[in-house]
Chain A
Amino acid sequence: METLLQNLLNGIAAGSIYALIALGYTMVYGILKLINFAHGDIFMIGSFVGYYAGGMLSKQLNAAQGGSASSPLYAALIMLLAMIICGFLGYLNERIAYRPLRNAPRIASLITAIGVSFLLEYGGQFVFGPDPKFFPTLVQKHVINIGGVVTTNYQLIVLGVAIVFMALLQFIVYGTKFGRAMRAVSFNFETASLMGIPTDRVISTTFVIGSMLAAVAGILYGLSYPKIDPLMGIMPGLKAFVAAVLGGIGNVPGAVVGGLIIGIVESFVGGSSYSNYRDAIAFIILIVILLFRPSGLFGKYQPEKV
C-alpha cells in the first residue's frame, strides 16, 4: 500500500512536469496545426538559464554576505528570468523559423521545427559544453514523511507551481479577451483575420506563453533532477508530445491529464519488474491511442471534409 502511494506520488510529480511541457505543444498545435519539436529544447534552455543564474547569484551572495541563493524569493526571481529569456526565444523561433513558412505546406514547417530542435540541441552542446551539469540548490530540500510515504518539499513545490501555472493558462485562454482571440484563430485562421484579429500577434504571443511554461518546467525539472545537459530536452519533450496526443492535441485540460497519466504509468512500470520498459511505455501508449482514439481522450473527432 505504501509502495502504491509512493509510486502514485512520484508519478504525479513527474507527470506535472510533463503536463507543463505538453501545454506548450498543445497550444501551438491548436493554433497553427504545427508540432513544435523545438519545444523540448526550449525547456532545456530554461534549465540552463536557471543553472547559470543560480550559479551567479550564489557567487554574488557568497561574496557579499556569505549567504546562499537557496531562498524561495531568489528561486522565484530565477524562474522569472528563465521565463523572460525562453519567452523571447520562443518569439524569435516563431518569427524567424515559422512565420515565413506560414503559407507553405505543413511538412515544410514540420521539418523546420526539427531543424530548430537540432540547432538548439547541438548549439547548446557548443555553448554550454556537452557535459552534464549540476543544477544549483535553489531551495533547501526537506524530506517529509507522511505515514511511510516519503516526499520532499521539491515534489510539493513542483506540484504547487504546476497547478498555479495551469490555472493561469486556463484563465488566459477562457477568461480573457486575448484568449478569445486565440480560440478564434485556432478555430479558423483566415476568418479570424478577416474579423480584425491580429493573427500574427496572437500566434507570437501563443509561442511566448508556451515557451514560458517550458521555462517553468525546466526550472522545476532542474530542481527535482539536478543533472542537466544540452540533450536533456529530447526525452521529456517526446513524452510530453505523447501526453498532448493522449489528451487530445490542441486541448488544454487534455494536455494536463495526459501528462499526469504518462507520469503515473511510467512510475508504476518503473516500480514493477518490467522497469526496463519504462521508456517504451509512453510510445506504446502513443501507438494505442493513434490506433483506437486518434483524437485523444478529450479531442473531438473532426472528419476531413472534401
Chain B
Amino acid sequence: MKKRFILATAILSLSFIGCPPKTENAGGGAGTGGGAGEIVIGEYGSLTGGQATFGQSTHNGIMLAVDEINAGGGVNGRKFRIITEDDQSKAEEAANAVTKLISQNNVVAVLGEVASSSSLAAAPICQSNKVPMITPSSTNERVTQVGDYIFRMCFIDPSQGEAMANYLSRQVGMKRAAVLIDVKSDYSTGLAANFEKTFVANGGQIVGRQSYAQGDSDFRSQLTAIKATNPEVIFVPGYYNDIGQIAIQARDLGINQPLAGGDGWESPKLIEIGGKALEGAFYSNHYHVDDPAPAVREFVQKYEERYGAKPDSLAALGYDSTKVLADAIKRAGTTDGPKLRDAIAATKGFVGVTGTINLGPQRDPIGKKLVVLEIRNGQTILKAAVDPSAPAGGAAAPATDTTATNAPAGTAAATDSSTTGTAPSTSTARTQ
C-alpha cells in the first residue's frame, strides 16, 4: 500500500510540473475580425517566465510601431489593433496562444515569437489556417521551413554561428573552443552546430561539449568538465537568464577564458545578473544601440522617450516586423490571407532599424546585417559589423566560406564604438 502510494504521488507530482494553463489577454476582449474598420493583428510572446524581457521588449517595439501607424491614420484608412497573448516562455503555451488568436480573435496576421522553440510550435497552426506569421527574431532556420505563410525579419543561425566562429577564430585567433548547449532549446542546439561547423572548418578544434537545461541553476559540474579541456573560449548559445549564472560559476571555478554567445544574450537583465563575470564576453546581435545610422538614432530616441530605457535588438525587430506588415497590407490593399502572404513575400528594400530587409525565396531576409559585441565595463561595445553576403534563404543556405568579419576590431580603442560601427563592412564571398 505504502509503496503504491509513494509511486502514485510521484507520478502525480511529475505530471503536474508546469501544468496550469493561464492565458492572458492584454489587448482587450475578443475581436471580431477586421469588420469594424480595424485591422486586428495577433501577437504572442514571452511576457512572463524565463525569457520575459524578450517578450516585453518585442511588445514595446510593436506597440511603438502600431501607435505611429495609427497616428498617421492607419493603413488604407483602417487602424491597427494588437491583441497580445502571453505564452509564459513555454512552447506549448505558444501553440495555445496562437490557436486562440486565430480561432477566437480572427486575427489577420500573427507576430511572434523570439524563442525558436515557441515559434516552431506556433508556426504550423498559422500555416494550416493560412494566416501569415512574422517572427521578428527567431533565428533557427527550421522556423520558416514550416510553410509559405511563415516569415522572419532577422538573420538565421547559420549566419550567426558562422559569424561568431569567424570572428573568434580569425579576428581573435582562437583555436580551441568548448561549447555548452541548452538542450531544451532548438535555438541553442542549432546555433551551436553552426558555430562548430565553421570553427572546425577554420582550423579550430571543439575540445569540449556539455549541455544543460534551461532554468538550471547549477552549472558547476559541466564547467568543471570544460575547464579540464582547457579551451580558449566557451561558446554558450543560451538565453540571457542562464548566461549570467554560467558566467559567475565559471569565474568561481577559476575559468578566466571569455564566454561567447548569440543574440539570445540580448537583454537588459544579462549584465544585471552576470555583472563583472561577463567582462570580455562576446555575442552576436541584430543591431547596436549606438549605431549612428539615422534610422537607428530616430528609433532609439522615440523608444527612450516613451519607455525611459534603451531599446534592445528585440524591440527593434518587433518594431521592424510591424512596419513591414503594415507596408505589406498597404500594398496588398486587403487583409485577405493569401494576398497578404504574397505581399509580405514581395518585401524588398524595406529600410528598417535593423537594416534593409529583402525577403528571399525562403521567406528569410537576405544579407541581413549582424554585429559582434563585446561586454566592457557593463556596456556593450561594437567589435565587428558583418554582412553575410551568402544568398541566405533557409535550407538552401550554402556553406560558402564568407570572410565575414572585416571591420577592425576595437583593440585598445574601447571608447565609443560608433566610430568603428559606421563602416558597413563589405564582405566578399570567396567560393561559389
- Do B241 and A7 touch (CB < 8 A)? no
Which of A132, A143, A150, A294 is within 8 Å of B2, CB to CB? A294
Distance of A74 Cα from B53 Cα, bound (Å): 32
Complex Cα distance A3/B227, Å?
A: 9
Contact A276 B211 (CB under 8 A): yes
Per-position binary interface string of chain B over residues 1-22, scored 1 when its CB falls under 8 Å from any chain A CB and 0 otherwise: 1110111011011101111101
Contact B221–A267 (Cβ < 8 Å): yes
Query: Which of B49, B224, B272 interacts with A271 by CB under 8 Å?
Result: B224
Q: How far is the CB of A154 from chain B (nearest CB, A)?
A: 8
Residues of chain B contacted by A141 (CB below 8 angstroms): 252
CB of B221 within 8 A of CB of A226, answer: no
Contact B213 A279 (CB under 8 A): yes
Q: CA of A271 to CA of B212 in the docked complex: distance in angstroms?
A: 10
Residue from B183, B224, B252 with most neighbouring chain A CB atoms (10 Å):
B224
- A112-152: contact bitstring with B at CB < 8 Å (1 yes, 0 no)? 00100010001001000011101000000101010000101
Category for how many chain B residues contact A:
35 or more
Contact A270 B218 (CB under 8 A): yes
Given known contacts A241-B13, A276-B183, is B48 in contact with A130 (CB within 8 Å)?
yes
Q: How far is the CA of A273 from the CA of B229 in the complex (A)?
A: 13
For residues 202 through 256 of chain A, which have their beta carbon under 8 Å from a beta carbon of chain B?
221, 225-227, 229, 231-232, 234-235, 238, 241, 245, 249
Instruction: Give every chain B residue within 8 A of A145 (Cβ-Cβ).
Output: 254
- Taking CB atoms, residues of chain B closer than 8 Å to A279 are 213, 216
Within 8 A of A (CB), among B212-266: 212-213, 215-222, 224-225, 227-228, 241, 244-245, 248, 251-254
Given that A131-B48, A234-B17 are contacting pairs, would A245 and B6 also be in contact in the complex, using a CB cutoff of 8 Å? yes
User: Is the CB of B147 closer than 8 A to any CB of chain A?
Assistant: no
Q: CB of B375 within 8 A of chain A? A: no
Bound form: Cα–Cα A251–B353 in Å: 62
CA distance A235 to B48 in the complex (A): 19
Residue pair B221, A143 in contact (C-beta under 8 Å): no
Chain B neighbourhood of A10, CB < 8 A: 218, 220-221, 224
Given A122-B22, A226-B273, A268–B221 Cβ distance below 8 Å? Answer: yes
Interface residues of B in 88-109 (CB under 8 A from A): 88
B211 contacts across to A, CB distance below 8 A: 275-276
Chain B residues in the interface with A (C-beta under 8 A): 1-3, 5-7, 9-10, 12-14, 16-20, 22, 48-50, 52-53, 88, 183, 209-213, 215-222, 224-225, 227-228, 241, 244-245, 248, 251-254, 269, 272-273
| 8 A-B residue pairs with CB within 8 Å | A14-B220, A114-B16, A134-B273, A225-B245, A241-B10, A275-B211, A275-B225, A283-B14
Closest 9 CB pairs of A and B: A270-B221, A130-B48, A225-B217, A271-B221, A294-B3, A276-B211, A10-B220, A271-B225, A276-B183
Q: Chain A interface (Cβ within 8 Å of chain B)?
A: 2-3, 6-7, 10-11, 14, 35, 37, 106, 110, 114, 118, 122, 125, 130-132, 134, 141, 143, 145, 150, 152, 221, 225-227, 229, 231-232, 234-235, 238, 241, 245, 249, 266-273, 275-276, 278-279, 283, 286, 290, 294-295, 302, 304
